[in-house]
Chain A
C-alpha cells in the first residue's frame, strides 16, 4: 500500500536559516506528491505539489523535487521567516485512492 515517512520533529531554526524537511514514500504506480502546511489554529493548506518524476513544486520560497529514484520529496527553503512556523505534512495521492499523509513536522522559527 501507500505510505509516507517524514523526518521526525520538531525542528527549531533561527530566522534566515536553511530548511530541509525530509519526506520519503512508498507507492505503487505514479503518485502525485504534495506538501501541506497547517498554521497555528488553522486548517490544511496546499503549499506545493508535483505530479510526475523530476517535477519541482515551488511556492512562497519553498521547493520540493519529485525524485523517483530515491522515492523522495524533500521540502527546502533557503531562508526561513518567523511566519513560516507551522506544521508541514508531506502527502501522496494515487488516482482512485485516498490522500495519504506523513506524520507532520513541527517547524518553529525564532527571530
Chain B
C-alpha cells in the first residue's frame, strides 16, 4: 500500500536556525497538509496546500513558516528561524478523498 514518507525522522537544531522538513506524499493525491503535535498535546493543523498554493492556514502558521512543492513529488515545510516552542512532532498528510494518510512524522527538537 502506498504511504506518505517523511524525512528525517528526528531533527535537532539550535534556536534561530532554519529547518526544512521533507515529505513525499502519495503520488496521485492532490491535497497536502502539515500538522504538528507538541509533546503530550493534541494534533494541530498548520496548513493545507492544493494546486500549488496554500488553501488554508492556521494562526500557528505565521511568517516564520512556509511550504513548497518544488518538484511535483516533495512537499516541504520550512521554519525560517526556529524557536524553542517549535519543538514538536510534525506530520505530513495527503489525500484526494477522505481519509487523510499521514506520514510517521519528524520529531523536531530545538535547543
Contacts and interface: CB of A to CB of B under 8 A. Distances in A.
A43 B42 contact: no
Interface string B88-101: 00010100001111
A89 B99 contact: no
Q: What secondary structure prevails in chain B residues at the interface with A?
A: strand
Report, as a range, how many residues of chain B touch the other chain. Answer: 20 to 34
Contacts of B45: 98-100
Interface in B20-54: 33, 35, 41-45, 48
Contacts of B104: 42-43
A89 B44 CA distance: 12
Interface residues of A, number: 20
Given A43-B91, A43-B105, A44-B91, A101 B100 contact: no
A46 B99 contact: yes
A99 to B, nearest CB: 5
Contact of A93 (B91, B100, B101): B100
Nearest to B3: A43
Contacts of A101: 42-44
A50 to B, nearest CB: 11
B75 interface: no
A72 B48 CA distance: 26
Interface string A42-63: 1111100101000000000000
Interface of A: 32, 34, 36, 42-46, 49, 51, 89, 93, 97-104
10 contacts: A44-B102, A44-B105, A45-B102, A51-B98, A89-B42, A93-B100, A99-B35, A99-B100, A101-B43, A104-B42
Interface of B: 6, 33, 35, 41-45, 48, 56, 58, 91, 93, 98-105
